[in-house]
Structure 1
């Protein structure tokens, strides 16, 4: 039996493993369903993939790096991930190609039983006193069930599983979706394909991307820990100020960001019809704001056609896509940039807790968790990037590291008390969840007039945390013993 099993080897799993090692807990195992480690930035290798948070902040605080540019591209993020994994010798305590089928709480043994499937070893069973789920909210891609989708004779794939063996150059291509991934792919391939059809359900607000490639002498300076830390702090507080607009002043948000986004459209697009198509009808910030200097110029190309909601997909057929305007588009490739099950599907496998209750049933109305991390009835289980831990203005890794404060303190408290089980109280989770959704009503994600992936089927905003990230960090550091049961 392991002390801890970590599910997922992305930044959440890496942070968990590093923190366990620091506390002398080496009896842990990381389970990774893919054949490689690294999570998001190892899996998402589509053309143009890059981070939209400045690299010195979008990194583990204790693991600074010699970044080449302000907004790192996928290959450099993959190198950083490998650097962290190798530095802390995490490959030795990881089993890849291991897909978790189910986890079940065993009351008598006071442990979690983890059932997995491995292509060589078949079905495997593991036991652990604690489970840290770090599978991530952006790990289960979703492809809508378009009429005739399976009849297409050409190539098709989701952006999460980009087929690098397929040569898209000089091909007739359609990309379905216009969110963050599509906004990076479109400029990266538009000049390479014969024609690119972009199917947009709703437009996103786009603002310029303030990227910057560090000069040699700047990288030399940033290798000094205190200078790197100072830059990280400056970036953090600059981004944190956005919360004022997201939550407290939509007028300020519109005056600053909204005006900038409208000017961006006016400056880069001259065609009035295309301007109309790309201009959202909701408050900026309600949906994810895209950073790009190259998206609009790509959409202006002669070989790119933007289809909006008035000219959407009627059906997919053997030859390509039939539009709602009655046009048949003959295609070689369909790219699905249609997102992830990031709210209702926070955990993709069955979780069975005390008395046989399933987490999916508890979350039937909407996903919820104390500090976005633990749920009553599911002892010794911690969820990294759980409900309402997403962050729309700063680094997701900052929030992951904040969750580690709570998780590691919980483990320490169990040991200090000579107990074996910790479980959050139902009333504590209820108070926390009510407070979160009361605060959410003040935010642009609730009032901005859009329907985003931030919301679950219930209509509640599940993906985002409604406040400052330093508030969340303070809450995770202030461990409330009275909110938990030790046994």
Structure 2
């Protein structure tokens, strides 16, 4: 059984940021556990056609590691290259244990250590445990009637079947969110016929992408210029929060009206326009950036099925619609999302007194600064409850959490303490504030039922405010909100 000062679960951007911050406070005795046979997170896993980031790359990157991106919105292959670049530069490969699928973690009160059980790599001990497995790591496939009877080929976008040749095939894609919006334009020209089963339409805005010229990429290599561009992009995106929370009129004029114009500009058929127009306020669900989705839906070899023509059941040959139409297909692609709310941590976590995170989250997921919970000493959750962001870079929020994690661990070490734990009162006060503020946001009043909500109906994916506010809260570490032993 191997013991470390800290163990990080997940080798994506969250895990890499955690490793960097541990080293900043002099901790190099750490190990990264990665369940897959390769290093990297979401972008190494999600290799579906058309996969790309929907936040400008100079901002959707680690602040301490600038990169000469080839275009404003990086595609998946370049994000993988960036991941490998960061891993190599910061010499993290030797710190990663691959094929280490965590089965359970349990707090050992006597030793004041976390015991981490893996499926094939044995058991590990750690003083500090940082979960950076990510919110988009547990794919969900709805239990459609007859799902297992289909005789063709099926897969989730999270695990794209690159061996399957799409050319000339009849394909059904189920889902209409961000992944589907990228896959549909990418495969529509190749397949024989594409049936899109849209559960709920999303608001779509044009994607302001651009390819950087060689001299522009060279400028991105300058840290000062890179930082200036990041800052400009950040504040432009941060203004969106004004509409999401503070100005319904502004949201309508600056976002929903342009989205409505985008529909009319790209789709001439009134029936198609109606079919893709949501019945909720823009921002209530994730806004999709695409200049190619609507033209793809209008192709002659693409059929759009709406909720009035949805899935009654799946059978051996394909899909029977609610209108009684049989749609025969060769393959079904599930673009049905992830368990990003109730399933933030995909393995059992057992804390003090045998209490599990699942029990603590029985009503809904909650955590102080989205990061720490009473009863679970020395445990930090990256991208935990209410740390999602609907208007800017998720990596910015991850690095904000690192401000808190770094300060918490440094304070514990400085005191010579064995544990740090947030108090029950501090967590309750924080969570109460979060849900009071949430009532002011479009995610609460916007009229949709999104993955931002848990089964309880609470919006637990998003932070109800400006991202710089969250970062300031994380930087202002409050010892009085914690118990040291």
Contact residue 107 and residue 114 of structure 2 kept, 8 A: yes
1:420 aligns with 2:418: yes
SS at match of 2:268: coil
Q: Equivalent residue for 1:55?
A: 57
2:197 is aligned to 199
Match of residue 73 from structure 2: 71
CA distance in 1, matches of 2:351, 2:8: 17
In the TM superposition, what is the alpha-carbon distance from 1:10 to its structure 2 partner?
0.6
Give the aligned CA root-mean-square deviation in angstroms: 0.6
C-alpha distance in structure 2 between counterparts of 1:168 and 1:420, whole Å: 56
CA separation in 1, counterparts of 2:209 and 2:248?
26
2:135 aligned partner? 137
For the residues of structure 2 that align with 1:28 and 1:433, how far apart are their CA atoms?
31
Instruction: Indicate the residue corresponding to 1:163 in structure 2.
Output: 161
Equivalent residue in structure 2 for 1:5, among 7, 19, 29 = 7
Matches within 5 A, 1:79-478: 79-118=81-120, 121=121, 124-478=122-476
Render the CA deviation track for 1:351-374: whole Å, top value 9, x for unaligned. 000000011011010000000000
* Structure 1 CA distance for aligned equivalents of residues 276 and 227 of structure 2: 38
State the alpha-carbon separation in 1 of the partners of residues 200 and 273 from structure 2. 13
How far residue 235 of structure 1 moved from its aligned partner, in angstroms, is 0.1
- The alpha carbon displacement at 1:218 in A equals 1.3
Deviation at 1:37, TM superposition (A): 1.1
For structure 1, list consecutive stretches of 5 or more residues without a partner in the other structure: none
- Residue 192 of structure 1 aligns to a residue whose secondary structure is coil
Partner secondary structure for residue 190 of structure 2: coil
Q: 1:24 deviation in Å?
A: 2.1
Q: Deviations for 1:411-451, whole angstroms, at most 9, x for unmatched residues?
A: 11111111110000000000000000000000000000000
* TM-score normalised by L of structure 1: 0.99
> Is 1:484–2:477 an aligned residue pair?
no
Q: In 2, distance between residues paired with 1:57 and 1:241?
A: 15
Contact 2:66 / 2:220 at 8 angstroms: preserved in 1?
Answer: no
- CA-CA distance at 1:22 after TM superposition: 2.5
Q: Compute the displacement of 1:67 (Å).
A: 0.3
- Quick one: distance in 1 between partners of 2:216 and 2:108? 54
Q: Does the residue aligned with 1:201 lie in a helix, a strand or coil?
A: coil
Instruction: Between 215-224 and 172-181, report the one with greater CA deviation.
Output: 215-224
The structural deviation recorded for 1:222 is 2.0
Moved more, 362-371 or 88-97: 88-97
Q: How many angstroms apart in 2 are the aligned matches of 1:4 and 1:228? A: 32
- How far, CA to CA, are the matches of 2:402 and 2:60 in structure 1? 16
Distance 1:331 1:257 in 2: 37
1:98 Cα deviation after fit: 1.0
State the 1:169 CA deviation: 1.2
Q: CA deviation at 1:485?
A: 0.2
Cα distance between partner residues in 2 of 1:173 and 1:350: 37
Question: Deviations along 1:231-289, whole A, 9 cap, x unmatched?
Answer: 11000000000000000011100111111000000000011111110000100000000
Q: TM-score, normalising length from structure 2? A: 0.99
Cα offset for 1:196? 0.3
Matched residues in 2 for 1:222 and 1:172: separation?
43
Number of matched pairs: 483
Deviations 1:184-221 (A, max 9, x none): 00000001000000001110000000001111121122
